[in-house]
Amino acid sequence: MKSNEEIRQIVKGKYSQIALQEKKVITESCCSPDCCTDDVYKIMSDDYSKLEGYNPDADLGLGCGLPTQFARIKEGDTVIDLGSGAGNDCFIARHETGESGKVIGIDFSEAMIEKARENADKPGYNNVDFLLGEIERIPINENVADVVISNCVLNLVPDKKKTFQEIFRILKPGGHFSISDIVLEGELPQKLRQSMEMYTGCISGASQKSDYLQIIGDTGFKHISIQNEKFINIPEEILRQYFTREEIDQYKKSKAHIISITVYGEKRISQDK
């Protein structure tokens, strides 16, 4: 059993590697170059290209939803993107918040931060910034953000409770989050749960859906809702790397489900009951 710090370093290494790769190589994977094929990439990721503010150089194909589409960003908002990667969601958020707003991306990979800053410098964006830091210890003061977004990242974080506490801390009273992430219903087979490739591939580190929503509620958020939901199927060519034919059939008949959700929640204002 690996420690939380060992997991963080493995994930950081994988995503730093991705940041240095060409997009063609990246899009032949899911959330890691080792774990998945182009089929998984197509299942996990949604098409950003029709959203205003889209920057193809910043789209590494690593998401599992479109949180910015549901985030209710208004002109002048301060938006914080957790696990911002090469900046894709940040640039779409910038289009929504306008010149009067501010967008801050947080990522723990130096290579990703460098790539995102390069992508922001090309069009000369002066209200988009990228900070190095862990989302379990967000390098932002409290009560700063109007909106927090994140795309297929929290499943990679060992301490999800701490992460939602940090989201609560940095949101202004009355602020909200819109987060796309992977959750589970039922138990994955042990061979998948123990695979670090499946962990960095955004699957085996995911929480049970009910536990995930419970953490959000226990943190103090209100008006929690699922804005979008889709089931993720692991292609059979991937399953064959882990299972016999009989085990694959058993897995397909099981009640285990991998689900991409986009979930919304609001920070309570002090006078709210």
Quote the pLDDT of residue 208.
Answer: 96
pTM: 0.88
Quote the pLDDT of residue 8.
Answer: 74
* Helix, strand or coil, per DSSP, at residue 5: helix
Angle between helix 160-170 and 209-219 (nearest 10):
40
Q: Please indicate, yes or no, if residue 150 is contained in any of the structural domains.
A: yes
Q: Which two tokens stand for residue 36?
A: 């998945």
Q: How far apart are CA 70 and CA 192, in angstroms?
A: 31
Quote the pLDDT of residue 33.
Answer: 39
Alpha helices in the chain (DSSP H): 4-19, 23-26, 38-44, 67-70, 88-97, 110-121, 160-170, 190-193, 196-200, 209-219, 236-239, 245-253
* CA distance to 32, 87, 90, 125, 150, per residue, from 115 (Å): 17, 8, 13, 14, 18
Q: Please indicate, yes or no, if residue 272 is contained in any of the structural domains.
A: no
Quote the pLDDT of residue 110.
Answer: 93
Q: Give CA torsion, residues 65, 69, 71, 74, to 10 deg.
A: 160
Q: Please indicate, yes or no, if residue 139 is contained in any of the structural domains.
A: yes
Q: Please indicate, yes or no, if residue 212 is contained in any of the structural domains.
A: yes
Q: Please indicate, yes or no, if residue 196 is contained in any of the structural domains.
A: yes
Q: Which two tokens stand for residue 50?
A: 């029709």
pLDDT digits (tens, 9 = 90+) for 146-181: 999 999 999 989 899 999 999 999 999 999 999 999
| Residue numbers of the domain that contains 26 | 4-267
Q: Give CA torsion, residues 250, 253, 255, 260, to 10 deg.
A: 100
Whether 224 contacts 218, CB under 8 Å: no
Q: Please indicate, yes or no, if residue 181 is contained in any of the structural domains.
A: yes
Quote the pLDDT of residue 31.
Answer: 44
Q: How far apart are CA 216 and CA 225, in angstroms?
A: 11
Domain containing 130 — which CATH number?
3.40.50.150
H or E stretch at 124: none
Q: Which two tokens stand for residue 108?
A: 């723990």
State the Cα angle at 206 between 200 and 211, rounded to 5°. Answer: 160
Q: How many domains does the chain have?
A: 1
Q: Please indicate, yes or no, if residue 273 is contained in any of the structural domains.
A: no
Quote the pLDDT of residue 201.
Answer: 81
Q: Which two tokens stand for residue 188?
A: 């994955």
Whether 234 contacts 182, CB under 8 Å: no
Q: What share of the chain is helix, strand, coil (3-state, %, to 5)?
A: 40, 25, 40
Q: Which two tokens stand for residue 168?
A: 């609560």
The amino acid at 123: P
Quote the pLDDT of residue 98.
Answer: 95
Residues of the chain with pLDDT under 50: 23-42
